[in-house]
Structure 1
Amino acid sequence: MENSSYLPEAQALQEVRQHDNYVKIDRAFGWLMIGQWVFGILAAVVISPYTWIGEAKQVHLHVWASVLLGGLICLFPFYLSRRQAGDFLTRHVMAVAQLLYSSLLIHLMGGRIEAHFHIFGSLAFLAYYRDAKVIYTASVVTVLDHLIRGYIYPLSVYGVLNASEWRWLEHTAWVIFEDVFLLIAIKNGLHEIKKSTMYEAALIKERERALNLSKIKTRFLSNMSHEIRTPLNSIVGYSDLLGQTPLNPEQQQYIGTIHRCTESLLGVVNDVLDISRIESGRLTVEKGAFDIRELQSTLQGIFAVQCEKKKIQLRVITEGDWPPMVTGDRHRLQQVLVNLLGNAVKFTQEGSVHLHLRRDGDCAIWSVSDTGIGIRPENQELVFGPFTQEDASTARKFGGSGLGLTISRALVEQMGGELKMQSTPGVGSVFEFSVKVIE
């Protein structure tokens, strides 16, 4: 990702990620300090008596040294890890303290060669900061410790009384050897992080751009829907008036075609308007009293002729005891059920379509089932997306905008319910939802 337009955002994002990493590693090192302090005391108790005075067992002076020196090394870095995690000072104090711990453990273990491996482990852990300066600080502490202690008290460092005055150079070479690999790893890691943050910054920026475009599109759809709906309503109204005048059969047929096409187009416009409301979060439902049995009868009347023409059976079943009036958004409930029934009738060539209403406490449960073409399992969630049908051939054969299920799910969720679906290809589909209608 070489696009320089994302560079400022990527740099800011990388700084945030790096600071988060500093904080995380500082806090981890704070607890590591405590653990090493305890380990140093145990090492002094278990190992140093044998190292320094043979087989005799006694609490050696080194035990007290591990307690006091370990505490001095541990407490200030631990305090910084709690109070100033992520600061420049904190990670360099951690580097100094960690290598001083390595020196203390080497001393407590009598300068054993295996104790020196703690230095390599410390440097490797410090590399998690992904900060080369921290490695430099830690390496300088190690070299100075070996130089000074090796000159004053070689037994503490090398485990021998008479060590070469240049032996510290050998240990320095090993430290530098590890540093080279660690610095290469840090450089490569930072490069990968830079690339990653560049991609992330690009995604964030493109997402913001897409959201802005979506808002513009939503406003455009909303405005255009209103602009188109006004003349369409006029066409519907005037075609109704014209149909009431003396016309010959052919003219009546033309008027009917105009009316049906306009109503169909008006339905699409209303769906687009609802989608724009859904995307902008302005979709609302209203509560009012209505007769739920009358709603069932209305739905039966809407689809009776269509089902009769297709020679499929339409059954509307209402179960349970219902009060004369229930509470809810009748208009939106009818819209959902018309969408579901419309799909059921559209995709059913033979068999039946059922609208089933039953009561569960204060809730009404509607289910719409059909013996239509069904939906493949891998496409069952896909069909709830806007402007989406199962595949292109379905859209070409049966028509439709692909908005009905999207709007229906949003409306049901707005009313506090959930639209569920079960479908088997070649057998049919069942859509079910429940809504509270009794207060």
Structure 2
Amino acid sequence: MNSQTALDRRTDEILHHRQQQLYSRTDRLFARLFVIQWIAAIGGAAILSPLTWQGEESRLHAHLWAAVVLGGVLAAAPIAMAYFKPGHFSTRLTISVAQAGYSALLIYISGGRLETHFHIFGSLAFLAFYRDWRVLVPATTVVAFDHLVRGTIWPETIFGVLIPSIARALEHTGWVLFEDLFLGWSCITGVREMREASRTQARLEQAKADTEEVVRERTSDLQLRSEQLEASIDETRRMAQRLAEAQKLECIGQLAAGIAHEINTPMQFIGDNSLYLEECVDRLLDITESYIEMLNIDSPSQAWEDRHQRSDAILAGYRYAELVREVPCAFAENRDGIDRVITIVRAMKDFSHPGTGSKVPTDINQLIHSTVAVSRNRWKYVARVELQLADDLPMADALPAELNQVLLNLVVNAADAIRDHDVDSSDPQGIITIRTFAAGGNVVIEVQDNGPGIPPHVKSRIFDQFFTTKEPGKGTGQGLAISHDIVVNKHSGEISAYSVVGEGTTFTVTIPIVDTEAEEERNQRSAALELARHAYTSQ
């Protein structure tokens, strides 16, 4: 009971910390967004209605004053609170109200254009980033109040018509509530997922603490009870098994950080390109509106030469040639970034598959592609990977998840060796070569690097448990020992190392090829047993 209470308390602490980080990060996002919206409101008012005229006299339009003054007021409070009280609930409420106010302001500035009403839905979606459904309530209240009041008293500023309409105001409010329903559900689901992730982390911390406690107890027991050598050896083996699982979790944690970086890079330029494409679309829409105005049948007649000159001026003013040149390139870059993210996600999915627990026909080349993709952040700064994979490589009888761990250990070790070795100055990066071929009824995998090599006195111990040449804290001495166990004991294969000091190391792994006849016999036997079971059930 005490352990469960401590777990729940730790879960709540982790969840609260993550939520505060999310709230503060989103507060800063909105602070920047308010600055952008203020500038956009002033720019929109200056373009749409900069002046109001009375006869031959003109003065600044009320829309422009509203954008400057009211927009500044709406932006000032949330920006100040985002930087001085980040993460506070009052800050989120202030931002919620101000964001809804900006939607009302933009609708007013545009004269009730339908397009600006979509700013409301975008604002609610941004507010949902908090994963706190409560922030949707004040925003929705402001929107509903604004629509009902202005829709009945001043309809031209919100709907662009002179006839008051409560029904239209209620309809718009209904659509906002409809979006709130889904956004609120997503917020609740997001918090639930954060809680599950927090609970998982708390359990891992508790398991780590328990494991460390067990290690301390066992070490003391071995020192004090030397007469129980056999029992101590068994316990050491069990500890080694637990450490193997911990090493696998450590590798996965390191990979997760690297994969996050690999995904973040293309997502950044996808985001930048999307913003640029949004600007390009706005320019194209402005060009279209200019052409519509120029071709309006009610406009004063003009000579075709004048229209042609005006058309050229419009295209030059909006830099149409730049749009024609740059927009396809931006789309191509986005497609390339999306393809890179898809490749990483697919590789991680293949790598993290738990497997069936029994050997299955396995495509070794596919395992290598997945391992290289998920470990890219570990080797890309120190080496380049060259794949020399046989196209006609037969299927191996293997445990995919276990072999993935072996390949990952070999690639990471090669990258670490190259990092600590000064390669030839003409080639500032090292080379990791992975090749596959079939020989003697086995699939052969070779992982070669041009690192410093392994000294003879070290080579004889590289597969020993807990043996490592790395600095304390950088290696557990489990990677190659686990790899040896997986290859030799679980796959009836072989793993060996050939190394020349100063030139590099080649690890060779052999895995038996799937026995087609035996596999077919097993399938037939399984089919016969299934048929007999079905016949018995029918009786």
* Aligned residue in 2 for 1:384: 477
Q: 1:195 to 1:14 in 2, by over 3 A?
A: same
Q: Does the Cα contact within 8 Å between 2:38 and 2:68 map onto a contact in 1?
A: yes
Report the CA distance between 1:107 and its aligned residue: 0.4
Aligned counterpart, 1:100: 101
Structure 1 match to 2:159: 158
Rounded Cα–Cα distance in structure 1 between residues aligned with 2:143 and 2:459: 78
Question: Given residue 212 of structure 1, which amino acid in structure 2 is its aligned partner?
Answer: E
Structure 1 residue 51: Cα displacement: 11
Contact 1:77 1:94 in 2 (8 A): yes
Once the two structures are superposed, the pairs formed by residues 323-342 of structure 1 within 5 Å of their partners are none
Match of 2:185? 184
Distance verdict in 2 for CA 1:132–1:84, change over 3 Å: same
User: Residue 52 of structure 2 contacts residue 60 of structure 2 at CA under 8 Å; is this kept in 1?
Assistant: no
**3-state DSSP of counterpart to 1:125:** helix
Report 1:38-53 matches (<5 A). 38-49=39-50
Secondary structure at the aligned position of 1:158 is classed as coil
Q: 1:194 to 1:62 in 2, by over 3 A?
A: same
Of 447, 456, 469, the residue aligned with 1:369 is 456
1:173 aligns with 2:190: no
Aligned to 2:346: none
How far residue 210 of structure 1 moved from its aligned partner, in angstroms, is: 1.3
Aligned counterpart, 2:17: 16
Q: Is the 8 A contact 2:50 2:61 kept in 1?
A: yes
**Residue 204 of structure 2: aligned partner:** 203
- In structure 2, stretches of 5+ residues that fail to align are 234-451, 469-474, 490-500, 509-539
Distance 1:205 1:57, change over 3 A: farther
> Secondary structure of 1:166's partner?
helix
Contact 2:453 2:502 in 1 (8 A): no
Distance (Å, rounded) in 2 between the aligned partners of 1:422 and 1:366? 4
Q: Would you say 1:109 and 2:110 are equivalent positions? A: yes
Partners of 2:127 and 2:135 within 8 A in 1 = yes
- Report the residue type matching 1:369 in the other structure: P
* Partner SS state of residue 384, structure 1: coil
Q: Identity over the aligned pairs, expressed in percent?
A: 35
Matches within 5 A, 1:25-424: 25-49=26-50, 59-223=60-224, 368-369=455-456, 384-385=477-478, 388=481, 391=484, 423-424=505-506
Aligned in 2, Cα 1:420/1:205: closer, same or farther, shift over 3 Å?
Answer: farther
Q: CA offset at residue 163 of structure 1?
A: 2.4
Task: Give the distance between the partners of 1:9 and 1:373, measured in 2 at CA.
Answer: 45
**In structure 2, distance between residues paired with 1:135 and 1:67:** 26
Report the TM-score when normalising by structure 2. 0.43
Q: Distance in 1 between matches of 2:10 and 2:459?
A: 52
1:192-213, Cα deviation, whole Å (9 max, x unpaired): 2222111111111111111222
Q: Distance in 2 between matches of 1:113 and 1:371?
A: 74
Partner amino acid, structure 1, of 2:176: V
Q: Distance in 2 between matches of 1:153 and 1:223?
A: 88
> Structure 1's 422 and 152: CA in aligned 2 closer, same or farther, altered over 3 A?
same
SS in 1 for 2:456: strand
1:111 Cα shift? Answer: 0.5
- d(CA) in 2 for partners of 1:13, 1:223: 39
Give the count of matched residue pairs: 265
Shift of 1:383: 9.6
| 1:96, distance to aligned residue in structure 2 (A) | 0.1
Give, in angstroms, the shift of residue 216 of structure 1: 2.6
State how far apart, in whole Å, the 2-side matches of 1:11 and 1:158 are.
46
**TM-score between both structures, scaled by the size of structure 1:** 0.52
Q: Please say which structure displays the higher CA radius of gyration.
A: 1
Q: 1:106 to 1:369 in 2, by over 3 A?
A: same
User: CA separation in 1, counterparts of 2:476 and 2:198?
Assistant: 35
Question: Which of 1 and 2 has higher RCO (CA within 8 Å, sep 6+)?
Answer: 1
Structure 1 residue 423, shift from structure 2 partner: 4.4
Residue 167 of structure 1 deviates from its aligned partner by: 2.2
8 Å CA contact 1:52, 1:110 repeated in 2: no
Q: Secondary structure of 2:163's match?
A: coil
Q: Distance in 2 between matches of 1:60 and 1:18?
A: 44
Secondary structure in 1 aligned to 2:158? helix
Kindly provide the amino acid, as one letter, of the partner of residue 385 in structure 1.
Q
Code of the residue aligned with 2:100 in structure 1: it is: L
**Alignment CA distance shift 1:205-1:165 (3 Å):** same
| RMSD of aligned residue pairs (Cα, Å) | 4.3
Note closer, same or farther for the CA distance 1:76–1:373 as it changes in structure 2 (3 Å cut): closer
